[in-house]
Structure 1
Amino acid sequence: MKSKKIVALVGNPNTGKSTLFNALTGLNQKVGNFPGVTVDKKLGYTKLADGESIEIVDLPGTYSLYPKSADETIVFEVLSDKKNPSFPDVVVIVADATNLKRNLLLYTQIADLGIPTILALNMMDLAQKSHIDIDINTLAKRLNIQVVALAARKTQGIEELKKAIQYQTGLAQQLPTIDVESIAPQLIKDISNLLGLSNPYIALQIAHQRENLKYLTKEQINKVDEISKENDFHTQKAQAAETIARYNFINDVLIDSVTYTTVAIEESISNKIDHYLTHKIWGFAIFIGILFAIFQSIFAWSEYPMMLIETLFVWLAELGHNNLPPGVLTNLLIDGVLAGLSGVMVFIPQIALLFAFISILEDTGYMSRVTFMMDKLMRKVGLNGKSVVPLIGGLACAVPAIMSARTIENWKDRMITIMVTPLVGCSARLPIYTLLISLVVPKTMVLGFINLQGLALMFMYLLSIVMAVLVAWIMKFILKSKLRGYFIMELPVYRMPRWNNVGITMYESVKTFVTEAGKVIIAVSIILWVLASYGPGDKFEKIEAKYQNTTYTSKYNTDEIEKQIASEKLENSYAGILGKSIEPAIKPLGFDWKIGIALITSFAAREVFVGTMATLYSVDGDADKLDSVREKMAVAKNANTGLPVFTIAAAFSLMMFYAFAMQCMSTMAVVYRETKNIKWPIIQFVYMLVLAYATSYVTYIVLS
């Protein structure tokens, strides 16, 4: 029994469906998965004028109910199965008012499923500017449904849509748009009898999509197969006949309700801008310039808030040491949990800025142009143009980026995309890059406006993209497939970014970063603190006794002896033994045993590296307990050479390792889930580890 009324938002890509979803739900939203599949399920809640709280489900964008990807398959599955937890009471079709003919195809299909439907005409402000006059009342009468005019970016018409949802009375007036039964009468009758269906269009769609529908049993699928063969059913012929009938209906409706008051077709502002932004030379130069500005801003704008967060955690640590009773629990809380969290929370400003810039690029329509420009390059290295979407998405996080590769129909293109997407620099690497860059790259300004630290960060991200393309080119010759990929994409018009959407994106990204990474970091920090604070046998007692000798007490003061004891205990702890065991393998890369521990712990998630460093240097005696993690790492010395641990060679070597190693269990899990074969994540892990070690080794040798 559903506790709330469910309203589904459905629409073509680029109709503003996500904007409407955000306008209706604000921050009251969450992301999950549809039952039995890996497709994202975006849910939100809103209140109607009468106080009723309703659930909004944002279904994946699709041009029709005939799916081209796993994401599109879920739309019909949800709308045709009344037992599905997301089956809606009302469907809101979000249509682009400037392109009604194309958008109404999806409307006619969903209306024929027999679900109460509302048509939301979005971008009405743009339609007026384009001299498109839509008679809302006539359109509503012709379709026998409620039609609402919207400009979701300006939040115009939102309240009217809520009222339409509130007063939706069902199917009393809603009529079928075409005679579905005439397409395949006997087939529809047989399938309806078999499955107990009362809606002919659902029966027809089941004949088309039976193999992809999770709610059908194998026996039912086999019987539908038999019925299709008995009735000589050809899915392409039936789909063509249906589409022709639907467009005949749509044309009749639009003749009565839409008027184009201008005949001259002028070049739009968007087309004029595209002459430069998608130019084969200037387009790439502008893109590099935009990336340069973004990474310069990430360093410049985040400096002060990061300093404030660092100061806050230092103050909390000092407060804890001064007011909490000394003992194991206090040390665990301050040197373990608090130190681990401080190393990650300090990067919240940079994470927020990165996602804000990505959101702005997407919202303005520029990211679509980047995808378009990269299409030719992608084809030369053996990828589909659609591969650009996951690769660009990988700048934020590899997990959803890999999932977005479902839209690629060609198996080879999809597999190569999945295999190389984790190479693209994700936001989890940002804390590591910025920390190490701040240690070894000066804040020097070149030409008065170029920050060397920002330049170094941009280099790391560009390098990751170049490496992904290079590996894809190599895989083109390894994976074999006769299928050819294709790339079809609609370029939206340029628009001003919706600042409330940018704000929501920043909030959701930071919240996910803090909650998801925070849980892992706290768990790892506690385990690591225990491993670093205890050792086998009586080694710790022997170290204590060793430094009670007059040889040391006469040579060093009390503070120096405490630091020596802490440092030696860490080396002989369980964590120290673990780090020392792998030190011979990583020493050629310029890493010591402490970095080795961080490499191991950060296989859970890359962000854990910073937390691990913070915990280790809090337990160690090399630096004052009240320093920030950056200050502790800056003064860290190699015990054998007396030189700084983090030299330019060692820091860039470490960045190269993190740039290319598969240090994210979530990514490996999603690769397995998407490929349904354990061999692919294993192959991915091995090739990325070898690549990381090789590039790290070369970098250290060259810079030493």
Structure 2
Amino acid sequence: MPDPGLHIALVGNPNSGKTSLFNVLTGLNQKVGNFPGVTVDKKTGYTSFENKTSAAVIDLPGTYSLYPRRADEWVAYKVLMDADEDIKPDMILLVADASNLKRNLLFCSQIIDLKYPVVVALSMMDIARKKGIEIDVQGLERELGVPVIPVNPRKNKGIAQLKKALLQTSKDAFIANKYDFIGNKELAPEAIAGVQQLYPQLSDYASIHYLINHENFPLANAMQETIEQIEVNTRFNATKTQAEEIMQRYGRIKQIMQQAVVEPDPLQKKLFTEQLDNLLLHRFWGYVILLAVLFLLFQSIFWLAQFPMDAIDWGFSKITGWFNNILPDAWWGDLLTNGLLAGLNGILVFVPQIMILFGLITILEDTGYMARISFLSDKLMRKVGLNGKSVMPMISGFACAVPAIMSARNIENRKERLLTILVTPLMSCSARLPVFTILIALVVPNTYYLGFLSLQGLVMMALYLLGTVMALIVSSVLKFFIKLQEKSFFILELPVYRAPRWKNVGITMVEKARIFITDAGKIIIVISLLLWFLSSYGPSSRMDVVEQKYAALQASQTTEEGKAELEKQYSAEKLQNSYAGILGKSIEPAIKPLGYDWKIGIALITSFAAREVFVGTMATLYSVEEDDDSTLKQKMESAKREDGSKVYTLGTALSLMVFYLLAMQCMSTLAVVKRETRTWKWPVVQLIYMTALAYFMSWVVFNIF
């Protein structure tokens, strides 16, 4: 879209309803989570006004004040201080939570003193009313000197009035407030005057921030030294100035609250949220309920997905059989059925499970329970070198490690953030789900205990728990090797409980399925087609020998059964002598102690592009070897080693699941770890320790079973 000319920065405290408002204004289906820190990067959308003009809306990470501590707060801070080279906002749309107005007004007052044109969107008015809080909106508007518009993005209320105020502000109907919220100049008059001689456009308050944080701004070395000299000459004390500023702001906020806000007696009856927290955050029952919720999550993945998965598998086996009957015996027919269709089956069969997993995680976020999981986990997390905020990235890691690692920016302590990044890939992401599903279906009987406890669901839950336990063990070991010393605090705002937005849940499920089909699907299809070539062709010296051998044997066969058996042996030997077969055979000695054959070896190599490629690889290899219309599960079930024993025994399948659980088989994750840590050191450490851990644990599991 062309640059609209007007750029609005959307800011506010975490969990104030900022991302919901962004979605309503821009119509973009962004991820909306009901817990702090969901927005960890700059997102841009476009909104249009009545007069057909439009504006770019930049959704900045949530922050409590203009004194950043976390990586995501620095993103917002640099934009607001005009120190971001890419984003230059013309005005600010600030979201303030009406039910927590006193705390939200601190950040609001700081933004006003930066002298941007500001519009305040007052969210959570319904919750404020339930708490018995009454706000005189016009009185608040007078005291702040900026437009204040009550909004409810969930019900699309107040959005038209908000757009009108934004349009008026853009036309200078409301210019930046001339008066300071507090007397910023008196905090450090000489130092401020010195900075303003260098940068005359800066407000008094922005000048204070240049004195405190100029090292973090893209200024010339000469300017850095000059500001440093101003600090020395005027004896500027950053800590004292900051403390005095915050005290003055809260003093003024107290006056505003007395004039414009009526608050209830604190002894009045508690909100439903607080009553529910007495149970869900109980020191015993809270953990029992948490385990029950996680148990239901993993059971549901099997209960709900079984029928659509079976239907997709059955459909593909029928389509493949139909194509085999009507297509001529040519290379392109083989490519279509055993390359393209086998690859497509490997993608689409797992879409129901991925949609269900993401839908259930979105419900946990939307209701407000996800933040409670962090609170419950903090005590355990601290023992292994993490804190409660590490839980959010780790639980997000059940979906995908890439955004999960990015959301670790929410953790203030650098050591805890690095440890979270290093162990999050051990959580079982949705890419592992296809591998677990097919292997569990192969070796674990589909039996039920007490009529509703699925054994397959219990094994799946055990795998997820094993990944979590290994993450905690690894963190407790690594904390001794990472020598960053920094004091750690755990401050978390617990959102109110709400009914999930079913539209949001549906959008997330569809969006995640689309991403899986398009992003992972492209890789799976390309690798499936490449594998079809590598497993259908080989060095002519080897392939000619196989052709001649079976041509002679075929001529001597008279019965149909004999010819069919010979055809099967021919396909198997041809696959072994193909390029893929040679590659698999060369790595077989290294993986034999884990119970794997050369075909599994090929899958391990191709899976480094993306873990879910395992299923596509197997589908292609077995389709090339056995040209019939049986399902992949049936083909894997009947797979035999050279000595006639079954390939997929309980030991081999469990060993393979543990390998996929613990190995770092994701190039995207390594790339994002490099981006977040700004060095190749930690991705390399991750790759080495996870591969070694996966190999050792798989070997142990295979030898036990």
Report TM bin, short chain: over 0.9
**Aligned counterpart, 2:107:** 106
Q: Residues 318-374 of structure 1: CA distance to partner in whole angstroms, max 9, x if unpaired?
A: 565566666444433442233223212211111111111111111111111111111
Counterpart of 1:416 in structure 2 is 419
Change (3 A) 1:261 1:402: closer
Following superposition, the deviation at residue 89 of structure 1 comes to: 3.1
How many angstroms apart in 2 are the aligned matches of 1:174 and 1:586?
70
Summarize the Cα distance change of 1:540–1:143 in structure 2 as closer, same or farther, 3 Å threshold: same
Secondary structure at the aligned position of 2:42 is classed as strand
Contact 2:47 2:55 in 1 (8 A): yes
Comparing 85-94 with 419-428, greater Cα deviation is found at: 85-94
Report if the CA contact (8 A) 2:40-2:410 is conserved.
Answer: no
- Paired residue type of 1:289: A
Q: Is the 8 A contact 1:335 1:619 kept in 2?
A: yes
CA distance in 1, matches of 2:190, 2:330: 80
Distance 1:387 1:322 in 2: 55
> Match for 1:480: what amino acid?
K
CA shift, 1:593, in A, is 0.6
Q: How far is 1:387 from its partner?
A: 2.1
Q: What residue number does 1:192 align with?
A: 196
For residues 541 and 429 of structure 2, the distance between their equivalents in structure 1, rounded to whole angstroms, comes to: 44
Alignment-derived partner of residue 272 in structure 1: 275
Aligned to 1:585: 590
Residue 237 of structure 1: aligned partner: 240
Give the counterpart letter for 2:648 in structure 1.
Answer: F
Contact 2:584–2:599 (Cα < 8 Å) also in 1: yes
Query: Cα distance 1:240–1:356, how it changes in 2: closer, same or farther (>3 A)?
Result: same
- In structure 1, how many angstroms separate the alpha carbons of the residues matched to 2:385 and 2:450? 40
**1:207 is aligned to 2:211:** yes
> Which residue of the partner structure matches residue 644 of structure 1?
646
Q: Could you tell me how far apart the structure 1 residues matched to 2:259 and 2:357 are?
A: 48
CA deviation after TM superposition for structure 1 residue 549, in Å: 0.9
CA contact (8 A) 2:394 2:427 kept: yes
Aligned to 1:465: 468
SS of 2:479's equivalent in the other structure is helix
Indicate the residue corresponding to 1:697 in structure 2. 699
Instruction: Give RMSD over aligned pairs.
Output: 2.5
Say if 1:119 and 1:487 are closer, same or farther in 2 by CA, change over 3 A: same
User: 2:117·2:175 contact (CA, 8 Å) conserved in 1?
Assistant: no
Letter in 1 for 2:354: I
Amino acid in structure 1 at the alignment position of 2:118 = T
Q: CA deviation at 1:674?
A: 2.1
Mapped to 2, the partners of 1:303 and 1:64 lie a distance apart of 48
2:55 counterpart SS class: strand
**Structure 1 CA distance for aligned equivalents of residues 189 and 407 of structure 2:** 38
Counterpart code for 2:257 = L
- 1:627 CA displacement: 3.3
1: CA distance between counterparts of 2:693 and 2:73? 36
- Residue 558 of structure 1 and its aligned partner are, at CA, apart by 4.2
2:381 corresponds in structure 1 to: 378
Distance in 2 separating the partners of 1:390 and 1:370: 12
Displacement of 1:495 after TM fit?
Answer: 1.5
1:659 to 654, 657, 661: 661
Partner of 2:11: 10
Kindly indicate whether the alpha-carbon contact (under 8 Å) linking 2:145 and 2:177 is maintained by their aligned counterparts in 1: yes
TM-score by length of structure 1 reads 0.93
| Runs of 4+ with >6 A deviation | none
Offset, 1:650: 1.1
Report if the CA contact (8 A) 2:102-2:257 is conserved.
yes
Aligned residue identity for 2:557: T
Contact 2:140-2:256 within 8 A present in 1 as well: yes
- Deviation larger for 405-414 or 7-16: 405-414
TM-aligned CA deviation for residue 112 of structure 1: 2.0
Q: Secondary structure at the match of 2:115?
A: coil
Matched residue type, 1:210 = H
State which of 660, 678, 702 in structure 1 corresponds to 2:680. Answer: 678
Q: Distance in 2 between matches of 1:355 and 1:316?
A: 29
Report the alpha carbon displacement of residue 452 of structure 1 after superposing the two structures with TM: 1.1
Structure 1 counterpart of 2:520: 517
Contact 2:343 2:528 in 1 (8 A): yes
The answer for the alignment partner of 2:619 in structure 1 is 614
Q: Could you tell me which residue of structure 1 aligns to residue 429 of structure 2?
A: 426
Cα distance, 1:4 vs structure 2: 5.2
Deviation at 1:59, TM superposition (A): 0.8
- 1:51 and 1:316 mapped to 2: Cα distance? 51
Which secondary structure state, in structure 2, belongs to the residue aligned with residue 492 of structure 1? coil
Query: 1:293-332: per-residue Cα shift (whole Å, max 9, x none)?
Result: 1111111111222233334444554565566666444433
- 8 Å contact 2:11–2:18 — kept in the other structure? yes
Query: Aligned partners of 1:513 and 1:55: how far apart in 2?
Result: 29
Mapped to 2, the partners of 1:581 and 1:441 lie a distance apart of 31
Corresponding residue for residue 457 of structure 2: 454
Q: What secondary structure does 2:551 align onto?
A: coil
- Distance in 2 (CA, whole Å) between partners of 1:134 and 1:665 is 52
One-letter amino acid matched to 2:701: T
Unaligned runs of 5+ residues in structure 2 are 33-38
Does structure 1 conserve the Cα–Cα contact (< 8 Å) formed by 2:117 and 2:176?
Answer: no
Any conservation in 2 of the 1:23–1:155 contact (CA below 8 Å)?
A: yes
Aligned to 1:142: 143
Q: Distance in 1 between matches of 2:410 and 2:347?
A: 34
Residue in structure 2 matched with residue 540 of structure 1 by the alignment: 543
What's the CA shift string for 1:76-109, capped at 9, x where partnerless? 2112328744333332211110111100111111
1:121 aligns with 2:126: no
Give the share of equivalent positions with the same residue, in percent. Answer: 50
Question: Match of 2:676, as an amino acid?
Answer: E
Relative to structure 1, the CA distance from residue 246 to residue 449 in structure 2 (aligned partners, 3 Å threshold; closer, same or farther) is same
The answer as to whether partners of 1:5 and 1:89 remain within 8 angstroms in 2 is: yes
- Range with greater deviation from structure 2 (136-145 or 628-637): 628-637
TM-score norm. by structure 2 comes to 0.92
Q: Aligned in 2, Cα 1:550/1:579: closer, same or farther, shift over 3 Å?
A: closer
8 Å contact kept, 2:426–2:662: yes
Does the CA-based 8 Å contact 2:606-2:614 persist in structure 1?
Answer: yes
Q: Which residue of 1 aligns with 2:402?
A: 399
State the alpha-carbon separation in 2 of the partners of residues 307 and 422 from structure 1: 30
Contact 1:355-1:509 at 8 Å conserved across structures: yes
Aligned to 2:229: 226
- Write the distance in 2 (CA, Å) between the matches of 1:54 and 1:558: 71
Distance in 2 (CA, whole Å) between partners of 1:368 and 1:4 is 38
- Preserved CA contact (<8 Å) 1:68 1:407: no
SS at 1:547's partner residue?
Answer: helix
Indicate conservation of the 8 Å contact 2:640/2:646, yes or no: yes
Going from structure 1 to structure 2, the CA distance change for 1:550 and 1:332 (only over 3 Å counts) comes to closer
Q: How does 1:422-571 map to 2 (within 5 A)?
A: 422-550=425-553, 553-554=557-558, 557-571=562-576
> What is the aligned partner in structure 2 of residue 80 from structure 1?
81
Q: CA distance change for structure 1 residues 484 and 178 in 2, over 3 Å: closer, same or farther?
A: closer
Tell me the SS of whatever aligns to 2:235.
Answer: coil
State which drifts further: 294-303 or 492-501.
492-501
Distance 2:197 2:332 in 1: 68
Question: In 1, distance between residues paired with 2:643 and 2:563?
Answer: 24
